[in-house]
A and B are shown apart, each in its own frame.
Chain A
Amino acid sequence: MATLKEVQSKIVSVKKTKQITSAMKMVATSRLRGAQNRMEAFEPYASKFAEVLGSIAGKSGEDASPLLVPREEVKKVALILCTSDRGLCGGFNNNLIYKAEQLIESELQGKDVSFICFGKRGRDWAKKTPFSIEDEYVGVVGGNIEFSVASTSGQKLVDSFLDGAVDEVYLIYSQFENMAKQIPTIKQVLPISSLGDMVGTIEVDAGDQFLPEHICEPSSEVLLGEMLPKNIFIQIYDALLQTSTSEHGARMRAMENATKACEDMVNELQTIYNKTRQAGITSDLMDIVGGAEALKG
């Protein structure tokens, strides 16, 4: 059995750990709020963009832009992997990495994969794979993300797609559902699978009403050509925002669980401490009583 002192120092150390985890939880909570605000602020832009895009996309054919045309033979695939820079957020990063592994094993078997990594965790994993890392962005996810990050990286991808350096681009990120649920998601970015999918229901809602009279300047094809790459930037930006928010959500939960576990542990240790103390007192008493008896006799 552990001595009193040992148990006590253990209690102190677990309490200290608890302090750290509960502080981290509070930090994650406030960051989560910030990230959620950014996500909400972005929403009007994204939905408006989709609406406008939908109304011109309806006018143009499926082959209006080279970004829409699937390659006959897919050899080179780029994966945009969004993870966090820091750990201590439960299975968050592992879930995303697992998703990437699965995708590579199932659909991308034998293809030339390259990574574009947002976040340190994903990059560290990608380094261990036999595939190359095209680009890495550290210090983006989880902080104040600038739109220019998404447009720079997106432009590079669009260029390499048009050059033929890449045949398909996938985005792996964490969709933020709510505090308790973050879903690792795979999305095909290039070639743009279908205009209908991209704009979703909005096209049906608004597009039909004013579609015929829209005057476009320059022509709708030119506009579409300008908007499609932008739409990719928007998707990347959205993925980054979602991943950031998810990261903070996941960390908050992980830290909450850790704090609870610490509490349980302190309680347990406290019981052991009390028992040990009591046992000590009992045996001391026995000694005294025994000694007194011996003197009498």
Chain B
Amino acid sequence: MAEKLFLEVVTPLKAVVSEEVELVVAPGSEGEFGALKGHTTFLTSLKMGALRYKDLKGKERLLFINGGFAEVLPDKVTILAESAERRKDIDVARAQQAKERAEKRLVDKASDLDFVRAEVALRKAIDRIKISGIK
């Protein structure tokens, strides 16, 4: 059995994950990275995307995180995200709607600000749907 490290995912609303895990894979802003026990201390910002981790039973779990920061210590990983959702909490129907809405806005090409926002919304929705689809 692999050595374990402690994973903490906290958002302003609550601590989403706080448990011992084997492996964490997070979407760093400079590229996805994995962390096992004994990882060098490391600090990075995160992109929006999927945070994967393997719990002690070897089961892979997925979370959608909306940007933030990660601090990696040899025996602990802390993720500070503005929001984080477990896969089962993702509302696929809502994400689908958001995706369609964003796509429509992108086609309509409204003002600049709307364009940026729609793009972010679209990416968010696509990521959510993708995560919920992974088995």
Interface residues of A in 191-238 (CB under 8 A from B): 210, 213-218, 220, 222-223, 226-227, 234, 237
Q: Select which of A42, A151, A215 is within 8 A of B82 by beta carbon.
A: A151
Q: Select which of B10, B29, B82 is within 8 A of A44 by beta carbon.
A: B10
Q: With A42-B13, A147-B13, A147-B82 as given contacts, are A215 and B45 in contact (CB-CB < 8 Å)? A: no
Bound Cα distance A38, B11 (Å)? 12
Residue of B nearest to A212 (CB): B41
Q: Specify which chain A residues have a CB less than 8 angstroms from the CB of B11 in the assembled complex.
A: 45, 147
Residue of A nearest to B71 (CB): A52
Let me know if B29 and A215 touch, CB within 8 A: no
Let me know if B40 and A215 touch, CB within 8 A: yes
Interface residues of B in 1-29 (CB under 8 A from A): 8, 10-15, 28-29
Q: Tell me if B115 counts as interface (CB < 8 A to partner A).
A: no
Q: Specify which chain B residues have a CB less than 8 angstroms from the CB of A16 in the assembled complex.
A: none
Q: Tell me if B44 counts as interface (CB < 8 A to partner A).
A: yes
Q: Tell me if B78 counts as interface (CB < 8 A to partner A).
A: yes
Let me know if A41 and B14 touch, CB within 8 A: yes
Residue of A nearest to B44 (CB): A217
> Can you list 10 residue pairs at the A/B interface with Cβ under 8 Å?
A41-B14, A46-B12, A147-B12, A214-B41, A215-B41, A215-B42, A217-B42, A218-B30, A218-B45, A223-B43
Known: A52-B78, A218-B44. 4 other contacts (CB 8 A): A45-B11, A151-B82, A214-B41, A223-B43
Residue of B nearest to A226 (CB): B45
Residue of B nearest to A213 (CB): B41
Q: Specify which chain B residues have a CB less than 8 angstroms from the CB of A216 in the assembled complex.
A: 42-44
Q: Select which of B13, B28, B40, B43 is within 8 A of A52 by beta carbon.
A: B43
